[in-house]
Structure 1
Amino acid sequence: MAFLVLKIDVDTLEGTYKGVPNLVQILRKAGAGATFLFSLGPDHTGWALRRVFQRGFLKKVSYTSVLKHYGIKTLSYGILLPGPDIGAHAASQMCAARDSGFEVGIHAWDHVYWQDNVRTRERRWTIAQMEKSYSRFVDIFGEEPRTHGAAGWKMNECAFYQLDAWKIRYASDGRGHSPYRLILNGLPLNHVQLPTTLPTLDEALQLNGLHTHNIVNYLLSLTQDDRVDNVFTLHAELEGRKFAPILEQLLAGWRAQGHILVSMADYYTTLNLGLLPSHPIEWGKVSGRVGRLIIQPTKC
Protein backbone atom coordinates (compact mmCIF):
# COMPACT_ATOMS: atom_id res chain seq x y z
CA MET A 1 0.00 0.00 0.00
CA ALA A 2 1.08 3.58 -0.70
CA PHE A 3 0.54 6.73 1.29
CA LEU A 4 -1.57 9.63 0.03
CA VAL A 5 -0.62 12.71 2.04
CA LEU A 6 -3.32 15.38 2.31
CA LYS A 7 -1.94 18.91 2.69
CA ILE A 8 -4.49 21.71 3.07
CA ASP A 9 -3.52 25.30 2.29
CA VAL A 10 -5.76 27.84 4.01
CA ASP A 11 -5.30 31.19 2.30
CA THR A 12 -8.20 33.44 3.32
CA LEU A 13 -10.48 34.46 6.17
CA GLU A 14 -13.49 32.98 4.37
CA GLY A 15 -11.63 29.71 3.82
CA THR A 16 -10.78 29.55 7.52
CA TYR A 17 -14.30 30.43 8.66
CA LYS A 18 -16.22 28.11 6.36
CA GLY A 19 -13.90 25.85 4.42
CA VAL A 20 -11.92 24.49 7.36
CA PRO A 21 -14.96 23.28 9.39
CA ASN A 22 -16.41 21.66 6.27
CA LEU A 23 -13.14 19.88 5.56
CA VAL A 24 -12.88 18.65 9.13
CA GLN A 25 -16.28 16.98 8.75
CA ILE A 26 -15.47 15.48 5.34
CA LEU A 27 -12.10 14.13 6.45
CA ARG A 28 -13.41 12.69 9.70
CA LYS A 29 -16.23 10.94 7.83
CA ALA A 30 -13.65 9.45 5.45
CA GLY A 31 -11.30 8.46 8.27
CA ALA A 32 -8.53 10.46 6.63
CA GLY A 33 -5.58 12.19 8.20
CA ALA A 34 -4.49 15.62 6.93
CA THR A 35 -2.34 18.65 7.67
CA PHE A 36 -3.90 22.13 7.78
CA LEU A 37 -1.46 24.94 6.96
CA PHE A 38 -2.81 28.34 8.01
CA SER A 39 -2.33 31.89 6.81
CA LEU A 40 -2.14 33.67 10.15
CA GLY A 41 -2.07 37.41 9.43
CA PRO A 42 -3.87 39.81 7.09
CA ASP A 43 -6.01 38.62 4.19
CA HIS A 44 -4.97 40.67 1.17
CA THR A 45 -6.52 38.39 -1.45
CA GLY A 46 -7.51 41.38 -3.57
CA TRP A 47 -3.85 42.16 -4.22
CA ALA A 48 -3.67 38.95 -6.26
CA LEU A 49 -5.78 40.63 -8.95
CA ARG A 50 -2.62 42.48 -9.95
CA ARG A 51 -1.58 39.19 -11.56
CA VAL A 52 -4.18 39.89 -14.25
CA PHE A 53 -1.25 41.45 -16.12
CA GLN A 54 0.77 38.21 -15.92
CA ARG A 55 0.61 35.81 -18.84
CA GLY A 56 -1.74 32.93 -18.09
CA PHE A 57 -3.66 34.56 -15.25
CA LEU A 58 -6.82 35.32 -17.25
CA LYS A 59 -6.96 31.71 -18.44
CA LYS A 60 -6.77 30.52 -14.84
CA VAL A 61 -9.51 32.93 -13.80
CA SER A 62 -11.81 31.67 -16.53
CA TYR A 63 -11.45 28.05 -15.46
CA THR A 64 -11.55 28.32 -11.70
CA SER A 65 -14.30 30.98 -11.52
CA VAL A 66 -12.42 33.05 -8.96
CA LEU A 67 -15.39 35.31 -8.20
CA LYS A 68 -17.69 32.34 -7.60
CA HIS A 69 -15.27 30.55 -5.31
CA TYR A 70 -13.81 33.47 -3.39
CA GLY A 71 -16.64 36.02 -3.46
CA ILE A 72 -16.58 39.74 -4.09
CA LYS A 73 -15.89 40.56 -0.43
CA THR A 74 -12.73 38.44 -0.23
CA LEU A 75 -11.52 39.77 -3.59
CA SER A 76 -11.97 43.31 -2.22
CA TYR A 77 -9.60 42.76 0.73
CA GLY A 78 -6.59 45.02 0.28
CA ILE A 79 -8.24 47.01 -2.53
CA LEU A 80 -11.69 48.29 -1.54
CA LEU A 81 -11.69 46.89 1.99
CA PRO A 82 -8.90 46.64 4.59
CA GLY A 83 -7.40 43.18 4.86
CA PRO A 84 -8.83 41.48 7.96
CA ASP A 85 -6.51 39.73 10.39
CA ILE A 86 -7.26 36.02 9.89
CA GLY A 87 -5.63 34.82 13.10
CA ALA A 88 -7.43 37.43 15.18
CA HIS A 89 -10.85 36.59 13.72
CA ALA A 90 -10.72 32.84 13.13
CA ALA A 91 -8.52 31.36 15.86
CA SER A 92 -11.41 29.20 17.10
CA GLN A 93 -11.79 27.50 13.71
CA MET A 94 -8.04 26.83 13.61
CA CYS A 95 -8.01 25.34 17.08
CA ALA A 96 -11.10 23.25 16.30
CA ALA A 97 -9.21 21.59 13.43
CA ARG A 98 -6.29 20.78 15.75
CA ASP A 99 -8.63 19.58 18.49
CA SER A 100 -10.35 17.28 15.97
CA GLY A 101 -7.07 15.40 15.62
CA PHE A 102 -5.56 17.06 12.56
CA GLU A 103 -2.01 18.34 12.28
CA VAL A 104 -1.63 22.12 11.97
CA GLY A 105 1.25 24.21 10.68
CA ILE A 106 2.27 27.51 9.12
CA HIS A 107 1.38 28.56 5.58
CA ALA A 108 2.25 32.26 5.78
CA TRP A 109 1.73 35.51 7.63
CA ASP A 110 0.31 37.33 4.58
CA HIS A 111 -0.29 34.81 1.79
CA VAL A 112 -0.33 37.18 -1.19
CA TYR A 113 2.43 39.44 0.10
CA TRP A 114 4.74 36.43 0.61
CA GLN A 115 3.92 34.79 -2.69
CA ASP A 116 4.51 37.96 -4.70
CA ASN A 117 7.74 39.05 -3.01
CA VAL A 118 9.72 36.28 -1.31
CA ARG A 119 11.87 35.20 -4.24
CA THR A 120 13.66 38.56 -4.45
CA ARG A 121 13.55 39.82 -0.85
CA GLU A 122 16.46 40.01 1.57
CA ARG A 123 16.98 38.22 4.87
CA ARG A 124 15.51 40.97 7.08
CA TRP A 125 12.19 41.01 5.22
CA THR A 126 12.03 37.21 5.10
CA ILE A 127 12.70 36.64 8.80
CA ALA A 128 10.31 39.41 9.82
CA GLN A 129 7.47 37.78 7.87
CA MET A 130 8.26 34.32 9.23
CA GLU A 131 8.61 35.46 12.84
CA LYS A 132 5.19 37.13 12.69
CA SER A 133 3.61 33.86 11.60
CA TYR A 134 5.58 31.89 14.22
CA SER A 135 4.52 34.18 17.07
CA ARG A 136 0.89 34.15 16.00
CA PHE A 137 0.92 30.35 15.71
CA VAL A 138 2.21 30.04 19.28
CA ASP A 139 -0.38 32.56 20.50
CA ILE A 140 -3.22 30.59 18.92
CA PHE A 141 -2.17 27.00 19.56
CA GLY A 142 -0.04 27.34 22.68
CA GLU A 143 2.76 25.31 21.11
CA GLU A 144 5.55 25.71 18.57
CA PRO A 145 4.84 24.79 14.93
CA ARG A 146 6.12 21.46 13.72
CA THR A 147 5.73 21.99 9.98
CA HIS A 148 5.50 24.58 7.23
CA GLY A 149 4.15 24.80 3.69
CA ALA A 150 5.05 27.91 1.70
CA ALA A 151 2.40 30.11 0.11
CA GLY A 152 2.48 29.66 -3.65
CA TRP A 153 5.30 27.08 -3.28
CA LYS A 154 7.73 30.00 -3.12
CA MET A 155 10.69 30.42 -0.76
CA ASN A 156 14.22 31.82 -0.66
CA GLU A 157 17.46 30.58 0.92
CA CYS A 158 16.95 32.58 4.12
CA ALA A 159 13.49 31.08 4.56
CA PHE A 160 14.81 27.53 4.22
CA TYR A 161 17.56 28.24 6.74
CA GLN A 162 14.95 29.63 9.12
CA LEU A 163 13.03 26.35 9.05
CA ASP A 164 16.14 24.64 10.38
CA ALA A 165 16.54 27.39 12.99
CA TRP A 166 12.98 26.65 14.14
CA LYS A 167 13.93 22.93 14.29
CA ILE A 168 11.24 22.06 11.76
CA ARG A 169 11.75 18.40 10.86
CA TYR A 170 9.68 18.30 7.66
CA ALA A 171 7.98 20.82 5.39
CA SER A 172 6.22 20.96 2.03
CA ASP A 173 7.42 24.09 0.27
CA GLY A 174 7.69 23.04 -3.36
CA ARG A 175 6.66 20.68 -6.11
CA GLY A 176 8.33 17.41 -6.99
CA HIS A 177 8.13 13.64 -6.96
CA SER A 178 9.49 12.31 -3.62
CA PRO A 179 10.92 13.30 -0.22
CA TYR A 180 14.37 14.88 -0.22
CA ARG A 181 16.70 17.29 1.57
CA LEU A 182 17.74 20.64 0.15
CA ILE A 183 21.39 21.54 -0.39
CA LEU A 184 22.38 25.15 0.30
CA ASN A 185 25.95 26.38 -0.11
CA GLY A 186 27.13 22.82 -0.54
CA LEU A 187 25.56 21.40 2.65
CA PRO A 188 22.25 19.58 3.16
CA LEU A 189 19.67 21.16 5.45
CA ASN A 190 18.33 19.23 8.42
CA HIS A 191 14.64 19.30 7.55
CA VAL A 192 13.04 17.05 4.93
CA GLN A 193 10.98 18.41 2.06
CA LEU A 194 7.76 16.55 1.22
CA PRO A 195 6.91 18.15 -2.13
CA THR A 196 3.45 18.27 -3.66
CA THR A 197 3.48 15.55 -6.31
CA LEU A 198 0.01 15.80 -7.87
CA PRO A 199 -1.66 18.68 -9.72
CA THR A 200 -4.14 20.69 -7.68
CA LEU A 201 -7.76 20.80 -8.75
CA ASP A 202 -7.51 24.32 -10.13
CA GLU A 203 -4.41 23.36 -12.14
CA ALA A 204 -5.95 20.19 -13.56
CA LEU A 205 -9.12 22.00 -14.60
CA GLN A 206 -7.04 24.03 -17.04
CA LEU A 207 -6.09 20.95 -19.05
CA ASN A 208 -7.97 20.47 -22.30
CA GLY A 209 -11.01 18.22 -21.95
CA LEU A 210 -11.13 18.28 -18.14
CA HIS A 211 -14.15 19.60 -16.27
CA THR A 212 -15.70 19.06 -12.86
CA HIS A 213 -17.55 15.96 -14.12
CA ASN A 214 -14.41 14.06 -15.18
CA ILE A 215 -11.66 15.55 -13.02
CA VAL A 216 -11.96 12.78 -10.42
CA ASN A 217 -11.21 10.04 -12.93
CA TYR A 218 -8.23 12.00 -14.22
CA LEU A 219 -6.67 12.45 -10.77
CA LEU A 220 -7.34 8.83 -9.86
CA SER A 221 -5.57 7.79 -13.06
CA LEU A 222 -2.43 9.44 -11.68
CA THR A 223 -2.51 7.39 -8.48
CA GLN A 224 -3.24 3.91 -9.84
CA ASP A 225 0.15 2.56 -8.78
CA ASP A 226 -0.40 1.57 -5.14
CA ARG A 227 3.38 1.38 -4.58
CA VAL A 228 3.96 5.12 -5.16
CA ASP A 229 3.42 7.68 -2.40
CA ASN A 230 1.90 11.05 -3.30
CA VAL A 231 1.28 14.44 -1.70
CA PHE A 232 -1.93 16.22 -2.73
CA THR A 233 -2.46 19.91 -1.94
CA LEU A 234 -6.04 21.08 -1.57
CA HIS A 235 -7.39 24.50 -0.69
CA ALA A 236 -9.92 25.28 2.02
CA GLU A 237 -11.48 27.85 -0.30
CA LEU A 238 -12.12 25.25 -3.04
CA GLU A 239 -12.37 21.68 -1.74
CA GLY A 240 -13.79 23.03 1.51
CA ARG A 241 -16.68 24.67 -0.34
CA LYS A 242 -17.81 24.34 -4.00
CA PHE A 243 -15.47 21.44 -4.75
CA ALA A 244 -16.38 19.47 -1.60
CA PRO A 245 -18.30 16.79 -3.58
CA ILE A 246 -15.24 16.28 -5.78
CA LEU A 247 -13.04 15.83 -2.71
CA GLU A 248 -15.43 13.25 -1.27
CA GLN A 249 -15.24 11.26 -4.51
CA LEU A 250 -11.46 11.50 -4.53
CA LEU A 251 -11.14 10.28 -0.95
CA ALA A 252 -13.38 7.29 -1.72
CA GLY A 253 -11.45 6.58 -4.92
CA TRP A 254 -8.07 6.69 -3.20
CA ARG A 255 -9.36 4.37 -0.50
CA ALA A 256 -10.57 1.96 -3.18
CA GLN A 257 -7.12 2.06 -4.81
CA GLY A 258 -5.61 0.96 -1.50
CA HIS A 259 -3.99 4.23 -0.46
CA ILE A 260 -3.59 5.22 3.19
CA LEU A 261 -4.72 8.84 3.68
CA VAL A 262 -2.37 10.53 6.14
CA SER A 263 -1.00 13.81 7.46
CA MET A 264 2.49 15.06 6.76
CA ALA A 265 3.47 14.09 10.31
CA ASP A 266 2.33 10.50 9.87
CA TYR A 267 4.07 10.20 6.52
CA TYR A 268 7.34 11.58 7.89
CA THR A 269 7.51 8.80 10.49
CA THR A 270 7.53 6.17 7.71
CA LEU A 271 10.58 7.57 5.90
CA ASN A 272 14.06 6.08 6.00
CA LEU A 273 15.85 9.38 6.50
CA GLY A 274 19.28 7.94 5.76
CA LEU A 275 18.29 7.02 2.21
CA LEU A 276 16.80 10.34 1.12
CA PRO A 277 18.45 12.14 -1.80
CA SER A 278 19.67 15.74 -1.61
CA HIS A 279 19.06 18.42 -4.24
CA PRO A 280 19.91 22.11 -4.68
CA ILE A 281 17.20 24.76 -4.90
CA GLU A 282 15.65 24.87 -8.33
CA TRP A 283 12.89 27.06 -9.78
CA GLY A 284 10.60 26.01 -12.58
CA LYS A 285 7.19 26.13 -14.20
CA VAL A 286 4.23 23.97 -13.24
CA SER A 287 1.41 23.51 -15.74
CA GLY A 288 -1.63 25.54 -14.71
CA ARG A 289 0.26 27.72 -12.24
CA VAL A 290 1.39 31.29 -12.96
CA GLY A 291 5.05 32.15 -12.37
CA ARG A 292 8.00 30.03 -11.24
CA LEU A 293 7.92 27.80 -8.16
CA ILE A 294 10.35 25.79 -6.04
CA ILE A 295 10.67 22.45 -7.82
CA GLN A 296 12.57 19.24 -7.24
CA PRO A 297 14.90 18.19 -10.08
CA THR A 298 13.34 15.57 -12.34
CA LYS A 299 14.15 11.95 -11.61
CA CYS A 300 16.82 10.46 -13.85
Structure 2
Amino acid sequence: MGEQAKEQLKSILQESHEIGIGPFLPASWRRNAAYADEVFTRNDLMQSLEAFQHLFDSPPSFFGAVDWQVNPHLLKLEEELGFNHACDVRGKMAFLPSLQDVSSGCIQIPTTLPTINELLANPSVNEHNVHEFLFAVSQRVLPNGEVFCVNAEQEGIERLVIMERIIVMWKGSQWEFKTLGELVQSIGNDKPPWHQVGWAEVAGHAGHVAMQSLKVV
Protein backbone atom coordinates (compact mmCIF):
# COMPACT_ATOMS: atom_id res chain seq x y z
CA MET A 1 0.00 0.00 0.00
CA GLY A 2 2.84 2.37 0.82
CA GLU A 3 4.32 2.02 -2.65
CA GLN A 4 1.05 1.95 -4.58
CA ALA A 5 -0.61 4.86 -2.79
CA LYS A 6 2.45 6.89 -1.81
CA GLU A 7 1.18 10.27 -2.97
CA GLN A 8 -2.30 9.76 -1.51
CA LEU A 9 -0.82 8.83 1.85
CA LYS A 10 1.49 11.83 1.85
CA SER A 11 -1.46 14.10 1.03
CA ILE A 12 -3.10 13.02 4.31
CA LEU A 13 -0.30 14.69 6.25
CA GLN A 14 -0.50 17.74 4.00
CA GLU A 15 -4.15 18.11 5.02
CA SER A 16 -3.05 18.27 8.69
CA HIS A 17 -4.31 14.84 9.60
CA GLU A 18 -2.32 12.65 11.95
CA ILE A 19 -0.78 9.37 10.81
CA GLY A 20 0.50 6.56 12.96
CA ILE A 21 1.09 2.86 12.43
CA GLY A 22 -0.65 -0.38 13.19
CA PRO A 23 0.62 -3.96 13.01
CA PHE A 24 2.55 -4.88 9.87
CA LEU A 25 0.59 -8.13 9.51
CA PRO A 26 -2.91 -7.28 10.78
CA ALA A 27 -4.48 -10.72 10.35
CA SER A 28 -1.63 -12.43 12.19
CA TRP A 29 -1.76 -9.78 14.90
CA ARG A 30 -5.49 -10.28 15.38
CA ARG A 31 -5.01 -14.02 15.87
CA ASN A 32 -1.80 -14.07 17.91
CA ALA A 33 -1.01 -10.77 19.63
CA ALA A 34 -2.75 -11.40 22.95
CA TYR A 35 -0.53 -14.44 23.60
CA ALA A 36 2.56 -13.39 21.60
CA ASP A 37 6.08 -13.20 22.94
CA GLU A 38 8.50 -10.28 22.75
CA VAL A 39 10.11 -11.50 19.52
CA PHE A 40 6.82 -11.66 17.59
CA THR A 41 5.74 -8.27 18.91
CA ARG A 42 9.03 -6.50 18.23
CA ASN A 43 9.43 -7.98 14.74
CA ASP A 44 5.98 -6.82 13.70
CA LEU A 45 6.43 -3.32 15.09
CA MET A 46 9.85 -2.88 13.55
CA GLN A 47 8.59 -3.93 10.11
CA SER A 48 5.74 -1.47 10.36
CA LEU A 49 8.04 1.26 11.64
CA GLU A 50 10.55 0.68 8.82
CA ALA A 51 7.82 0.84 6.17
CA PHE A 52 6.46 4.09 7.62
CA GLN A 53 9.84 5.79 7.83
CA HIS A 54 10.67 4.72 4.26
CA LEU A 55 7.51 6.45 3.06
CA PHE A 56 7.44 9.59 5.22
CA ASP A 57 11.12 10.06 6.18
CA SER A 58 9.98 10.57 9.79
CA PRO A 59 8.83 8.37 12.67
CA PRO A 60 5.10 7.83 13.37
CA SER A 61 3.59 9.58 16.33
CA PHE A 62 1.40 6.76 17.58
CA PHE A 63 0.53 3.07 17.39
CA GLY A 64 -2.94 1.56 17.15
CA ALA A 65 -3.45 -2.17 17.78
CA VAL A 66 -5.72 -4.05 15.39
CA ASP A 67 -8.97 -5.25 16.97
CA TRP A 68 -7.77 -3.95 20.37
CA GLN A 69 -5.40 -6.91 20.83
CA VAL A 70 -2.42 -6.19 23.08
CA ASN A 71 0.24 -7.80 25.24
CA PRO A 72 2.69 -6.45 27.84
CA HIS A 73 5.57 -6.47 25.32
CA LEU A 74 3.64 -4.01 23.13
CA LEU A 75 3.17 -1.57 26.01
CA LYS A 76 6.86 -1.73 26.85
CA LEU A 77 7.90 -1.22 23.21
CA GLU A 78 5.60 1.77 22.75
CA GLU A 79 7.46 3.58 25.50
CA GLU A 80 10.86 2.32 24.32
CA LEU A 81 10.25 3.47 20.73
CA GLY A 82 9.09 6.90 21.84
CA PHE A 83 5.51 6.95 20.57
CA ASN A 84 3.69 10.09 21.62
CA HIS A 85 0.56 8.08 22.40
CA ALA A 86 -1.20 4.82 21.58
CA CYS A 87 -4.76 3.78 20.84
CA ASP A 88 -4.78 0.06 21.65
CA VAL A 89 -7.68 -0.49 24.02
CA ARG A 90 -11.31 0.32 24.73
CA GLY A 91 -12.16 2.56 27.67
CA LYS A 92 -13.44 5.94 28.81
CA MET A 93 -10.49 8.26 29.42
CA ALA A 94 -6.78 8.79 28.75
CA PHE A 95 -4.54 6.75 31.06
CA LEU A 96 -1.12 5.20 31.57
CA PRO A 97 -1.36 1.41 31.17
CA SER A 98 -0.23 -1.49 33.31
CA LEU A 99 -0.51 -5.13 32.18
CA GLN A 100 0.98 -8.22 33.82
CA ASP A 101 3.47 -6.22 35.93
CA VAL A 102 4.56 -4.15 32.91
CA SER A 103 3.83 -0.42 33.09
CA SER A 104 4.27 2.01 30.22
CA GLY A 105 4.74 5.76 30.16
CA CYS A 106 3.17 5.92 26.69
CA ILE A 107 -0.28 7.38 27.21
CA GLN A 108 -3.25 5.34 26.01
CA ILE A 109 -6.14 7.11 24.28
CA PRO A 110 -8.83 4.41 24.34
CA THR A 111 -11.65 4.01 21.85
CA THR A 112 -14.79 5.02 23.73
CA LEU A 113 -17.59 4.60 21.19
CA PRO A 114 -19.02 1.42 19.68
CA THR A 115 -18.22 0.80 16.03
CA ILE A 116 -20.90 0.86 13.36
CA ASN A 117 -20.54 -2.91 12.95
CA GLU A 118 -21.15 -3.43 16.66
CA LEU A 119 -24.24 -1.22 16.62
CA LEU A 120 -25.63 -3.02 13.57
CA ALA A 121 -25.53 -6.30 15.52
CA ASN A 122 -28.44 -4.91 17.55
CA PRO A 123 -31.77 -6.03 15.99
CA SER A 124 -33.19 -2.54 16.53
CA VAL A 125 -30.46 -0.90 14.48
CA ASN A 126 -30.14 -0.84 10.70
CA GLU A 127 -28.26 1.04 7.98
CA HIS A 128 -30.90 3.78 7.99
CA ASN A 129 -30.91 4.63 11.71
CA VAL A 130 -27.47 3.56 12.96
CA HIS A 131 -26.21 7.15 12.82
CA GLU A 132 -28.97 8.17 15.25
CA PHE A 133 -27.96 5.47 17.74
CA LEU A 134 -24.29 6.46 17.45
CA PHE A 135 -25.12 10.12 17.98
CA ALA A 136 -27.15 9.30 21.09
CA VAL A 137 -24.32 7.23 22.59
CA SER A 138 -21.82 10.01 21.90
CA GLN A 139 -23.62 12.57 24.07
CA ARG A 140 -21.87 11.47 27.26
CA VAL A 141 -19.55 13.90 29.00
CA LEU A 142 -16.25 12.07 29.37
CA PRO A 143 -12.97 13.53 30.72
CA ASN A 144 -11.29 13.59 27.30
CA GLY A 145 -14.29 13.41 25.00
CA GLU A 146 -15.26 10.48 22.78
CA VAL A 147 -12.95 8.51 20.47
CA PHE A 148 -14.46 6.80 17.43
CA CYS A 149 -12.82 4.07 15.34
CA VAL A 150 -13.59 3.85 11.62
CA ASN A 151 -12.31 1.66 8.82
CA ALA A 152 -11.33 3.14 5.45
CA GLU A 153 -12.77 0.25 3.44
CA GLN A 154 -16.10 0.24 5.28
CA GLU A 155 -16.97 3.70 6.63
CA GLY A 156 -14.81 5.32 3.94
CA ILE A 157 -16.42 3.48 1.01
CA GLU A 158 -19.25 1.03 1.68
CA ARG A 159 -20.85 3.09 4.45
CA LEU A 160 -19.79 6.56 3.42
CA VAL A 161 -23.40 7.79 3.51
CA ILE A 162 -23.67 6.73 7.16
CA MET A 163 -20.45 8.56 7.99
CA GLU A 164 -21.66 11.69 6.24
CA ARG A 165 -24.88 11.62 8.28
CA ILE A 166 -23.14 11.23 11.63
CA ILE A 167 -20.54 13.90 10.79
CA VAL A 168 -23.33 16.35 9.95
CA MET A 169 -25.03 15.58 13.27
CA TRP A 170 -21.79 15.95 15.25
CA LYS A 171 -20.85 19.20 13.52
CA GLY A 172 -24.32 20.55 14.27
CA SER A 173 -23.97 19.82 18.00
CA GLN A 174 -21.77 21.41 20.66
CA TRP A 175 -18.79 19.11 20.05
CA GLU A 176 -15.59 19.73 18.09
CA PHE A 177 -13.29 17.38 16.19
CA LYS A 178 -9.73 16.69 17.33
CA THR A 179 -6.93 14.38 16.32
CA LEU A 180 -5.59 12.04 18.98
CA GLY A 181 -2.48 14.23 19.15
CA GLU A 182 -4.57 17.32 19.83
CA LEU A 183 -6.41 15.41 22.52
CA VAL A 184 -3.08 14.56 24.17
CA GLN A 185 -2.04 18.23 23.97
CA SER A 186 -5.28 19.28 25.65
CA ILE A 187 -4.34 17.15 28.67
CA GLY A 188 -1.24 19.30 29.07
CA ASN A 189 1.13 18.62 31.92
CA ASP A 190 -1.47 16.83 34.00
CA LYS A 191 -0.24 13.25 34.33
CA PRO A 192 -3.05 10.80 33.49
CA PRO A 193 -3.93 8.16 36.08
CA TRP A 194 -2.52 4.65 35.91
CA HIS A 195 -5.01 1.92 35.05
CA GLN A 196 -4.72 -1.80 34.62
CA VAL A 197 -5.50 -3.27 31.21
CA GLY A 198 -7.94 -6.18 31.29
CA TRP A 199 -10.05 -8.14 28.83
CA ALA A 200 -13.76 -7.80 28.20
CA GLU A 201 -16.52 -8.65 25.78
CA VAL A 202 -18.20 -5.85 23.85
CA ALA A 203 -21.77 -6.09 22.57
CA GLY A 204 -21.78 -6.89 18.87
CA HIS A 205 -18.06 -7.74 18.77
CA ALA A 206 -16.70 -11.26 18.39
CA GLY A 207 -14.09 -12.24 20.95
CA HIS A 208 -12.48 -10.31 23.78
CA VAL A 209 -10.83 -6.89 23.50
CA ALA A 210 -8.31 -5.11 25.69
CA MET A 211 -10.16 -2.82 28.06
CA GLN A 212 -9.21 -0.04 30.47
CA SER A 213 -9.73 -1.57 33.90
CA LEU A 214 -9.15 -0.75 37.56
CA LYS A 215 -7.23 2.33 38.60
CA VAL A 216 -3.78 1.59 39.99
CA VAL A 217 -3.40 3.25 43.37
Q: Per the shorter chain, which TM-score range? A: over 0.9
Matches within 5 A, 1:130-279: 130-184=45-99, 186=101, 188-225=103-140, 229-279=145-195
Alignment-mate amino acid for residue 120 of structure 2: L
1:223 Cα deviation from its structure 2 partner: 2.0
More moved, 185-194 vs 247-256 = 185-194
Are the aligned partners of 1:224 and 1:257 in contact in 2 as well (CA < 8 Å)?
A: no
Aligned partner letter, 1:114:
W
Query: Is residue 127 from structure 1 mapped to residue 42 from structure 2 by the alignment?
Result: yes
Q: Give the partner amino acid of 2:190.
A: G
Indicate conservation of the 8 Å contact 2:85/2:106, yes or no. Answer: yes
SS at structure 1 position matched to 2:20: strand
SS at match of 2:147: strand
Q: Name the amino acid aligned to 1:111.
A: P
Would you say the 8 A contact 1:226–1:258 is kept in 2? no
- TM superposition shift of 1:185: 5.7
Q: Which structure exhibits the higher relative contact order, with contacts defined as CA atoms closer than 8 Å and separated by 6 or more residues? A: 1
CA RMSD for the aligned pairs?
1.8
1:296 aligns with 2:212: yes
Deviations 1:30-51 (A, max 9, x none): xxxxxxxxxxxxxxxxxxxxxx
Q: Name structure 1 gaps, 5 residues minimum.
A: 1-85
For this pair of structures, how many residues does the alignment match?
A: 214
- Equivalent residue in structure 2 for 1:103, among 9, 14, 18: 18
Q: 1:284/1:226 Cα in 2 relative to 1: closer, same or farther (>3 Å)?
A: closer
Percent identical residues: 24
CA contact (8 A) 1:176 1:298 kept: no
Counterpart amino acid of 2:195? Answer: H
Q: TM-score, normalised by structure 1?
A: 0.68
Q: Partner letter of residue 261 of structure 1? A: F
CA contact (8 A) 1:175 1:195 kept: yes
From the superposition, tell whether residues 208 and 298 of structure 1 become closer, same or farther in structure 2 (CA, over 3 Å). farther
1:48-100 deviation per Cα after TM superposition (whole angstroms, max 9, x unaligned): xxxxxxxxxxxxxxxxxxxxxxxxxxxxxxxxxxxxxx223222221121122
Aligned with 1:274: secondary structure? Answer: coil
